[in-house]
Amino acid sequence: MRKIVTLILCLIVGNHAFAQEKGIIDNSKSPNVKFKSINFGDCQWTEGFWADKWKVCEETMVPYMGEVLCGDVGHALNNFKIVAGMKEGEHGGHNWHDGDFYKYMEACMYIYAQNKDKEILKSLDEYISIIGKAQHEDGYLQTSVDIKGQKRFGNRQYHEMYNSGHLMTSACIHYRITGQTNFMDIAKKNADFLYDTFMPKPKELARFGFNQTQIMGLVEMYRTLGDKKYLDLAELFINMRGTQKVEPSKVASYKHLGDMVQERKPIRKENEAVGHAVLALYFYAGAADVVAETGEKELKDALDRLWSNVVNQKMYVTGACGQTHHGVSSRVDMVHEAFINDYMMPNLTAYNETCANICNSMFSYRMLGLDGDAKYSDVMELVLYNSALSGINIQGNKYFYANPLRSLESRKMAKTHIVQHRKPYLECFCCPPNLVRTIAKVSGWAYSLTNNGVAVNLYGGNKLNTQMLDGSKLSLTQVTKYPWEGKVDITLEKCKKDAFEVQVRIPEWAKGSKLLVNGTDAVVAATPGTYAKIDRKWKKGDVITIDMPMDVKYLEGHERIEEVRNQVAVKRGPVVYCAESTDLPSNAKILDLYLPSSTKMDATYKPDFLGGVTTVEGNFKIRQDKNQEMYNEMQKPTWETAKVQLIPYFAWSNRGKSEMSVWIPVMWE
Ligand SMILES: [Zn+2]
């Protein structure tokens, strides 16, 4: 009997007694999650790639962004001050500027969680106090609508849902990291207001929700406060979409209809990722959060289809998403900043908004939680090293909104936020704080907790001090020069005596990897694209070694991708490379560059170049004759041979004006 009682108690208390509730997403009690978050701060970068990026984030990215957003250029704090009656003036920035300020605040919180700088907390308290004064008594909060005197929920493009979503997410993180409730009080009041507004399901608001970050925010509110009404509201926003007649209306402009906002079909019936890439991927990420709580199969099946469509038919080699600035969906709806048809992958005009790329990794992180499958962490890593980091310069104070795979000086650019060279401020400011908060929080993605062990999702020099789901302490260190070198040593510093598993990710590209424990074969298959599970008794001092070959590889696209036929992309480990005109002979242009298929590349780590990167170098052919007519009769080209260095794609546009290409025509030899 005693045994049964103990067993029942274990089942009830079980995994949850020691589950970690301070993760980036708190899935500690989520019944359908296999890979659970570690508490934020349990993993700290120590040295190497991410430690260096985190330092730049702490010292430049976050403080610089604070100066911009709290000053007259960025204007975000001013907007709150105006509504709070503390300042006079016009609204600055776009409708979604409040949400972007909440993202900046979130970045501050992740930095504080690691460095405990009290000044950061003080600033956050000041912002929170101002935001609180800008909030209406009934919970409504949106500076653009208030300052411009617009009608609440008068148009879904006002981004009220987006701003609320980021408010809720940011407040949950603030509560988890600081234990303070001042920001959470504001978010709760706003979430309750949304509940009271939308839960009666008024017909006039049935198509509401444009950029649906509120779904993720509401699930996080449910997880933090335990009130199921927030989960119900999150589900309502999923269920509403795709159920109404698609036509222009007062709340929905003719430009932003149908596939553009994923409203042609209910998500559960959808087979294709469509429309605005950020809207779509935030929507899918939110739906994955809902599945984590409900376990609903129909919704999960739809997310499996959508993830696969994104990654296998619409994603760039850099992990980027959203092929076009303006175009049409496969169902011929006008779309903007969006996915288009499968395998239609322009390079020069690729849009690839930094936010969309980051959303791709956020969606994948949530799917990783549900399935524990390495295909998701492969995508997270691909995005992080390539199409996320390309959104900011090495110094940490200039931004890209669009991340094309080719850039030419001759391209005609409209005067928009799509720029050829990074800018210190973008009026449409959604991407910079999204990226900065991501760089600040990557350590929270590096590990997950499994039922009886830990999973290593990302590599980088770090220390992990955490508690496993059964409450036992686990400390380990990771020493590596990844992504520039493929050897990773993980040393157990403290662990329980009973057997438990360490799951190490063998990236999909890492064919021929070796897996050792204390220098001898781990006798576990190191299959690329899987987590290799080493389940045994561990003791202090045990060392797991993963040795991944870092060969330079030439990648081809699927035969259906017309834009890259007979071209190759160069990749080494998780890092995609590009040619930049700065590295070409003085008379050569980026389009003159061809790669002989027999060229062998040498990789060299350069600690003082572009923040410390490995470049690859080899013999290229430079075409001498120029074809300047639209069409030219073919003649045998003339060539020069030149040694050219390629740099990581994320590091381009840091050395003055230049042209760039990821895909390079190949000469078969
Ligand atoms: Zn953006």
CA dihedral 662, 608, 355, 96 (to 10 degrees): -140
Residue 255 pLDDT class (50, 70, 90 cuts):
confident
Per-residue pLDDT tens for 227-243? Answer: 999 999 999 999 999 99
Residue 105 pLDDT class (50, 70, 90 cuts):
very high
Per-residue pLDDT tens for 262-304? Answer: 999 999 999 999 999 999 999 999 999 999 999 999 999 999 9
**Residue 213: enclosing H or E segment and its boundaries?**
helix 213-225
Q: Which tokens in the block code for residue 374? A: 């390495």
Determine the average pLDDT of the residues in 563-591: 97
Residue 419 pLDDT class (50, 70, 90 cuts):
confident
Please give the distance, rounded to the nearest whole angstrom, from the Cα atom of residue 67 to the centre of ligand 1.
19
Please give the distance, rounded to the nearest whole angstrom, from the Cα atom of residue 356 to the centre of ligand 1.
7
Please give the distance, rounded to the nearest whole angstrom, from the Cα atom of residue 401 to the centre of ligand 1.
6
pLDDT > 70 in the chain, percent: 96
Please give the distance, rounded to the nearest whole angstrom, from the Cα atom of residue 264 to the centre of ligand 1.
24
pTM of the model: 0.96
Strands of the sheet with 334-339, listed across from one edge:
275-276, 334-339, 324-328
Amino acid 129: pLDDT: 98
Amino acid 414: pLDDT: 63
Phi/psi region, residue 139 (left: phi>0; alpha: psi -120 to 50; beta: rest), is left
Please give the distance, rounded to the nearest whole angstrom, from the Cα atom of residue 618 to the centre of ligand 1.
36
CA dihedral 33, 37, 39, 43 (to 10 degrees): 150
Is 319 in a helix, a strand, or coil? coil
Is 209 in a helix, a strand, or coil? coil
Please give the distance, rounded to the nearest whole angstrom, from the Cα atom of residue 309 to the centre of ligand 1.
22
The C-alpha atoms of residue 13 and residue 313 are separated, in whole angstroms, by: 43
Per-residue pLDDT tens for 184-201? Answer: 999 999 999 999 999 999
Output 246 or 628, whichever has higher pLDDT: 246
Determine the average pLDDT of the residues in 207-217: 93
Determine the average pLDDT of the residues in 429-445: 98
Q: Which tokens in the block code for residue 319? A: 């992990």
Residue 626 pLDDT class (50, 70, 90 cuts):
confident
Determine the average pLDDT of the residues in 518-530: 96
Amino acid 198: pLDDT: 97
Asked whether the predicted pLDDT for residue 18 surpasses 90, the reply is no
The C-alpha atoms of residue 563 and residue 561 are separated, in whole angstroms, by: 6
Residue 418 pLDDT class (50, 70, 90 cuts):
confident
Determine the average pLDDT of the residues in 29-37: 98
Amino acid 268: pLDDT: 98
What is the overall mean pLDDT for the chain? 95
Please give the distance, rounded to the nearest whole angstrom, from the Cα atom of residue 115 to the centre of ligand 1.
27
CA dihedral 24, 28, 29, 32 (to 10 degrees): 80
Please give the distance, rounded to the nearest whole angstrom, from the Cα atom of residue 435 to the centre of ligand 1.
9
Find out whether 107 and 436 touch, Cβ atoms under 8 Å.
yes
Asked whether the predicted pLDDT for residue 662 surpasses 70, the reply is yes
Please give the distance, rounded to the nearest whole angstrom, from the Cα atom of residue 655 to the centre of ligand 1.
24
Find out whether 258 and 320 touch, Cβ atoms under 8 Å.
no
Please give the distance, rounded to the nearest whole angstrom, from the Cα atom of residue 229 to the centre of ligand 1.
30
Find out whether 192 and 139 touch, Cβ atoms under 8 Å.
yes
The C-alpha atoms of residue 315 and residue 320 are separated, in whole angstroms, by: 6
Give the list of residues 6+ apart from residue 332 with CB closer than 8 angstroms, or none. Answer: none
Span between the terminal Cα atoms of the chain, in Å: 76
Asked whether the predicted pLDDT for residue 16 surpasses 80, the reply is no
Asked whether the predicted pLDDT for residue 1 surpasses 90, the reply is no
Determine the average pLDDT of the residues in 550-572: 98
The C-alpha atoms of residue 28 and residue 104 are separated, in whole angstroms, by: 25
Distance (Å) of CA 207 to CA 49, 219, 261, 298, 431: 44, 20, 10, 22, 26
Q: Which residues of 511-530 are buried (b: 16+ CB within 10 A; e: fewer)?
A: eebebbbeeeebebebebbb
Amino acid 643: pLDDT: 98
Determine the average pLDDT of the residues in 100-115: 98
Please give the distance, rounded to the nearest whole angstrom, from the Cα atom of residue 458 to the centre of ligand 1.
24
Please give the distance, rounded to the nearest whole angstrom, from the Cα atom of residue 213 to the centre of ligand 1.
13
Output 403 or 2, whichever has higher pLDDT: 403
Please give the distance, rounded to the nearest whole angstrom, from the Cα atom of residue 441 to the centre of ligand 1.
18
Handedness of CA 219, 224, 230, 232 (dihedral sign): positive
Asked whether the predicted pLDDT for residue 415 surpasses 90, the reply is no
User: Any alpha helices (H) in 179-208, and if so which ranges?
Assistant: 182-198
Is 503 in a helix, a strand, or coil? strand
Amino acid 277: pLDDT: 98
Q: Which residues are within 5 Å of ligand 1 (an ion), measured at CB?
A: 353, 355, 430-431
pLDDT > 90 in the chain, percent: 92
Nearest to 442 by CA among 462, 425, 428: 462
The C-alpha atoms of residue 561 and residue 343 are separated, in whole angstroms, by: 5
Please give the distance, rounded to the nearest whole angstrom, from the Cα atom of residue 423 to the centre of ligand 1.
14
Please give the distance, rounded to the nearest whole angstrom, from the Cα atom of residue 453 to the centre of ligand 1.
36
Please give the distance, rounded to the nearest whole angstrom, from the Cα atom of residue 353 to the centre of ligand 1.
6
Find out whether 382 and 311 touch, Cβ atoms under 8 Å.
no
Q: Which tokens in the block code for residue 507? A: 């990236």
Strands of the sheet with 36-37, listed across from one edge:
36-37, 447-450, 453-456, 500-506, 530-536
Per-residue pLDDT tens for 486-506? Answer: 999 999 999 999 999 999 999
Nearest to 282 by CA among 115, 96, 134: 96
- For residue 328, the cross-strand partners are 334
Asked whether the predicted pLDDT for residue 311 surpasses 90, the reply is yes
Handedness of CA 175, 79, 100, 243 (dihedral sign): positive
Amino acid 122: pLDDT: 98
Helices (H) and strands (E) in the chain, counts: 16, 25
Please give the distance, rounded to the nearest whole angstrom, from the Cα atom of residue 97 to the centre of ligand 1.
11
Residue type, 114: Q
Please give the distance, rounded to the nearest whole angstrom, from the Cα atom of residue 272 to the centre of ligand 1.
22
Largest CA distance in the chain: 90
Please give the distance, rounded to the nearest whole angstrom, from the Cα atom of residue 261 to the centre of ligand 1.
16
Nearest to 82 by CA among 146, 139, 26: 146
Please give the distance, rounded to the nearest whole angstrom, from the Cα atom of residue 640 to the centre of ligand 1.
41
Per-residue pLDDT tens for 446-477? Answer: 999 999 999 999 999 999 999 999 999 999 99
